[in-house]
Amino acid sequence: MGMLTALVVGAAPLPAIAAGFDITVLGARGGLEDGNLSAYMVHPIGDPRAVLCDAGSVLHGLQVADRHGALDDVPMPTEAPETRPGYVLHHVIRGYLVSHAHLDHVAGLVLVSPDDSAKPIYALPSVNMVLSRDLFNGAVWPNNGDRGAPPQLGLYHYQDIVAGRPVGLAGTGMRVTAFPLSHGSVESTAFLLRSGGDAMLYLGDTGADAVEHSTRLRALWQAVAPLVRAHRLRGIVIECSYDDTHPDTQLWGHLSPRWLLRELAALQDIAHTPLRGMPVLVAHMKPSLRRGPDPVAVIPAELRSGNDMGVDFIVPEQGMRLRWGR
């Protein structure tokens, strides 16, 4: 820990080189495929101190990322007792941002918790309530948190975040602002991560406003519009769970390509700024067990065929490393 901090903080030109974000895909899909579930490690360029946006797959994601060389530039003391994925888990990842408590967003966190280091869990109060009541509750899993059923082991500190109010992410160079999303019967969360003047936006599961009878995405687009206008929003991670053959009545609080395109068009309209070239990572595609066209191929094809805005749709794969910025 001290070694890493010294390497990072001791590097004097840090503010000058930090102009955007590195994103490592620890889990790319939404449901079904255990071991490859929503989890994105994010840190400012040049500053490895990271957080995870959702934690569906943690250790397996780190192991795959390591095999792909995506962790090779983590400064790691030669005398570190851990494997590289272990070192990253213990010392590089400084906290979890949990969009909602569905298992495909927290399973990796639960499973790795017996060998994790102490960390904060940043979430809206409704999400931390479910984690502490229904997951780390001494029955489903030991209570590794600092709330709920005794004995509280206190490894994780639940940090409730107030929607719309930025908070610093301890031990990192980033701040986050949370925005509530409508996800069927559940409150989910979008996290706007800031580093210096740059920003990236991670959305947990969400339906379209028109389908959800909601205005939450509209409110989010209004909040980030100034960053789009200033060309400071470096990229968006957003879900697209089903292909367009899926009826709107069975989206269960998720997006399909036509709704994702419509919501991005809404952002473009509100920002009065073309989104051409904006990186948009297509998260949370749900694998299908049916023979025939693979949704993981069909969804990006449908997005690209309707892509009048010219956004840069990215299909994530586990272990992939992306750089969004200058």
Residue nearest to Zn ion (CB): 102
Stretch that binds Zn ion, among 44-52, 103-111, 120-128, 265-273 (CB under 5 A): 103-111
Footprint of Zn ion on residues 231-270 (CB under 5 A)? none
| Binder among 33, 66, 104, 244 for Zn ion (CB under 5 A) | 104
Residue 218 C-beta: closest distance to Zn ion, Å = 20
| Binder among 43, 60, 102, 234 for Zn ion (CB under 5 A) | 102
Q: How many residues bind Zn ion (CB under 5 A)?
A: 4
Q: Which residue type occupies 145?
A: G
Q: Which residue type occupies 102?
A: H
Element (H, E) at 76: none
- Indicate the residue among 104 and 146 with the shorter CB distance to Zn ion: 104
Instruction: Look at residues 82, 118, 123, 107 and name the one whose alpha carbon lies nearest to residue 31.
Output: 107
- Indicate the residue among 77 and 184 with the shorter CB distance to Zn ion: 184
Instruction: Look at residues 41, 78, 34, 79 and name the one whose alpha carbon lies nearest to residue 62.
Output: 41
- Indicate the residue among 4 and 201 with the shorter CB distance to Zn ion: 201
Residue 44 engages Zn ion in binding (rule: CB under 5 A): no
Cβ-proximal residues to 236 (8 Å cutoff; 6+ apart), any chain: 200, 201, 202, 203, 278, 279, 280, 281
- Indicate the residue among 18 and 238 with the shorter CB distance to Zn ion: 238
E strand intervals along the chain: 20-27, 39-44, 50-53, 93-97, 119-123, 156-160, 167-168, 175-183, 186-195, 198-203, 233-239, 279-283, 312-314, 321-325
Cβ-proximal residues to 72 (8 Å cutoff; 6+ apart), any chain: none
| Binder among 146, 205, 209, 243 for Zn ion (CB under 5 A) | 205
Q: Which residue type occupies 233?
A: L
Stretch that binds Zn ion, among 26-34, 84-92, 213-221, 301-309 (CB under 5 A): 26-34
- Indicate the residue among 195 and 318 with the shorter CB distance to Zn ion: 318
Cβ-proximal residues to 249 (8 Å cutoff; 6+ apart), any chain: none
- Indicate the residue among 184 and 196 with the shorter CB distance to Zn ion: 184
Stretch that binds Zn ion, among 96-104, 124-132, 171-179, 313-321 (CB under 5 A): 96-104
Cα separation of 309 and 269, whole Å?
A: 11
Cα separation of 22 and 227, whole Å?
A: 18
- Indicate the residue among 42 and 106 with the shorter CB distance to Zn ion: 106
| Binder among 30, 46, 95, 120 for Zn ion (CB under 5 A) | 30
Which residues contact Zn ion (rule: CB under 5 A)?
30, 102, 104, 205
